[in-house]
Amino acid sequence: MRIKLTAISRDVSRFLLIPIGMLLLSLPVCLIAREWFAVLPFLYSLVIASFLALLLYILGKKNDEISTKQTLLSVAISWGIIAVIGGLPLWFTALALGDTATPTVSYFGDPLNSLFEGFSGFTSAGLTMTIRESELPACLQWWRSFIEWIGGLGLIVFAVALLEPFQDQYALYQAEGRQTRIRLTATRTVRRLCTIYSLYTVASVILFRVAGMNWWAALNHSMTAIATGGFSITDNSMSAYSVPIKLAVVLVMIMGAIAFERHDRFLSGKLSALWQDRQHRLLIILIVSGCIFTAVEQFSDSGQFGWVNNIFQWTSALTTCGFSAQSVQFMSTNNKLLLSLSMVIGGAVGSTAGGIKLARVLALAEGILWHFRKPGLTQHQTYVRRINDKVLDPEQASRQVEAAAVLLVLWLLCLVVCILVLVKIVPNEYTLSDVIFESTSALGAAGLSSGITGPSLHWLGKCALMLMMWMGRLEIIPVVMLLTVPFSYVQSLFDSRRS
């Protein structure tokens, strides 16, 4: 299948309408906050984004024959470009403020730091280059929360509009010839999910306010919590907040890690929808058992229980949200590794959470059990396999398990590469467990940090983490496709010359 650059270009130009709209919506925030110095940076970003969109639109050509591969490529490219645009306002603001900027803001004068923040935001990861969040101007605090919120929403739309139409979503990567087109606003389901997402955000604003945050913090944190993003506007994330607030945040983080199609059913009256299927039962089991495990581990390590913080940290990692209630650096090695494991697992498919996702874990578990059961079957016996409440023919089931296994292998491979890179360049004060923690956090789009991520990190480390966030968010395969396009293009040139 030949890839048509013109079609991709047109697709990307349509995706760019998203950051353009966001920048337009953010301009009033600068005005309301009376941060005049930020108006021009936002305007510049707006102009650049619009110009780019227009350019790509003109270069592009409408194309009716769109293969799945092409759509995935468009999504991967768009997500990357949008992330770059997400970094622009930060960079321009830092440049505009120049010498008058606080140290926190002036770090964003380095374009790589701004870019990192953009990637972390749009992948709703939450690793940050910000040293003191409270010192950021209000418009930048808003911008960081907003890009995470949209990033989280984008992920649900990506899952529902692109992956769901295939029901057997794993067939997606196998059927090259099939046609898909993302209808960003067209389908009713997508619109409904967007409404639910907004509704939950508003509900959590109110919840946080009632629990004791001020309005501005409640707004920002509810946006990043439901997106399981993890940017905050307070120094040291959630550490300073009281117990009721922490518990409220835990609740919203869990909501964000539940498939939004389940929320849909829940809101239309089926209260049991949230724990009826296996994926979500597994989520509940993991949350409860993980809290107990980490608490016991902490007790054996330091001799004291910190229930609330434990529950908070564990949920934050498993839902790949990334708020933190205590410093990760001083956790025991075992707890760091446990949290790393949970960040590999992640939340439910169709939620805003990252990781390889619970449905894949279930598929893998079934695959393992299956290999033990298989030798017990007799010659004529036929069978069906059950994965996540779906009864599947053996071939179908094998395909799902295979897809999950491939993703897991790719995931671990990326982790190993990232760990090898980071080990080489981080200062000696960080142990291997810190490096593992940071890598899984980036790849799972979690955003908990052991302290490695920061403006002082080597540029190579920043790039590696950025790549991990981008790959992890799109479940690796689209990005790998994109990165290998040049190779396959060159190869096709050779092939055509030979023939």
Please answer whether residues 68 and 176 qualify as being in contact, where contact means their C-beta atoms are separated by less than 8 angstroms.
Answer: yes
* Minimal distance, residue 391 CB to another protein, in Å: 4
DSSP state of 68: H
Which residue among 31, 59, 288, 391 contacts another protein (CB under 8 A)?
391
Q: Which is nearer to another protein, 132 or 374 (CB)?
A: 374
**Region of 249-257, 327-335, 377-385, 429-437 interacting with another protein (CB under 8 A):** 377-385
What's the closest the beta carbon of residue 366 comes to another protein, in angstroms? 15
Stretch that binds another protein, among 223-231, 248-256, 380-388, 490-498 (CB under 8 A): 380-388
381, 428, 496, 499: which one binds another protein (CB under 8 A) = 381
Nearer to another protein among residue 186 and residue 384 (C-beta): 384
Minimum CB distance to another protein smaller for 167 or for 381: 381
Stretch in the footprint of another protein (CB under 8 A) among 59-67, 72-80, 210-218, 372-380: 372-380
| 380 belongs to the binding site for another protein (CB under 8 A) | yes
Region binding another protein by CB under 8 A among candidate stretches 73-81, 92-100, 150-158, 382-390: 382-390
Q: 41, 97 in Cβ contact below 8 A?
A: no
Nearer to another protein, 372 or 487 (CB): 372
The residue among 299 and 383 lying less far from another protein, judged by its C-beta, is: 383
Q: What is the CA angle 435-436-440, rounded to 5?
A: 120
Choosing from 36, 216, 305, 383, the residue that interacts with another protein (CB under 8 A) is 383
Q: Kindly state the DSSP code that residue 346 receives in the 8-state scheme.
A: -
DSSP-assigned letter for residue 67: B
Tokens, residue 383: 């069978």
When asked if residue 167 is in the footprint of another protein (CB under 8 A), the reply is no
Q: C-beta of 480: minimal distance to another protein in Å?
A: 35
Cβ-based nearer residue to another protein, 140 or 387: 387
Distance of alpha carbon 36 from alpha carbon 227, whole angstroms:
29
User: What three-state secondary structure class fits 179?
Assistant: strand
Residue 378 binds another protein (CB under 8 A): yes
Q: Which range binds another protein by CB under 8 A, 71-79, 231-239, 292-300, 374-382?
A: 374-382
Are 279 and 362 a contacting pair, CB within 8 Å?
yes
Say how many residues touch another protein, by CB under 8 A. Answer: 9
Binding to another protein by CB under 8 A, coded x per residue (else -) over 182-221, reads: ----------------------------------------
Query: Which listed residue (382, 428, 496, 499) binds another protein by CB under 8 A?
Result: 382
CB of 394 to another protein, least distance (A): 9
Tell me whether residue 184 is exposed, middle or buried, using C-beta atoms within 10 angstroms of its C-beta: 0 to 12, 13 to 18, 19 or more. middle
Stretch that binds another protein, among 184-192, 342-350, 375-383, 482-490 (CB under 8 A): 375-383
Question: How far is residue 194's CA from residue 185's CA, in Å, rounded to a whole number?
Answer: 10
Contacts of 265 (CB under 8 A, 6+ apart): 273
In 3D space, the residue among 7, 156, 1, 157 whose CA is nearest the CA of residue 69 turns out to be 1
Which strand (E) or helix (H) includes residue 385?
Answer: strand 385-387
- For residue 12, give every residue at least 6 positions away whose Cβ sits within 8 Å of its Cβ, in sequence order, or none: 56, 60, 74, 77, 78, 81
| Dist CA 400 CA 394 (whole Å) | 10
Q: Is 379 near another protein (CB under 8 A)?
A: yes
The secondary structure of 442-468, three-state, reads: HHCCCCCCCCCCCCCCCHHHHHHHHHH
Question: Given the complex with another protein, which of 382 and 499 has the nearer CB atom?
Answer: 382
Q: What is the DSSP letter of 332?
A: -
* Per-residue exposure over 440-463, b if at least 16 CB sit within 10 Å of its own CB, e if not: bbbbbbbbbbbbbbbbebeeebbb
- Residue 416 interacts with another protein (CB under 8 A): yes or no: no
- State in angstroms the smallest separation of the CB of 393 from another protein: 6
Q: Which residues bind another protein (CB under 8 A)?
A: 378-384, 391, 393
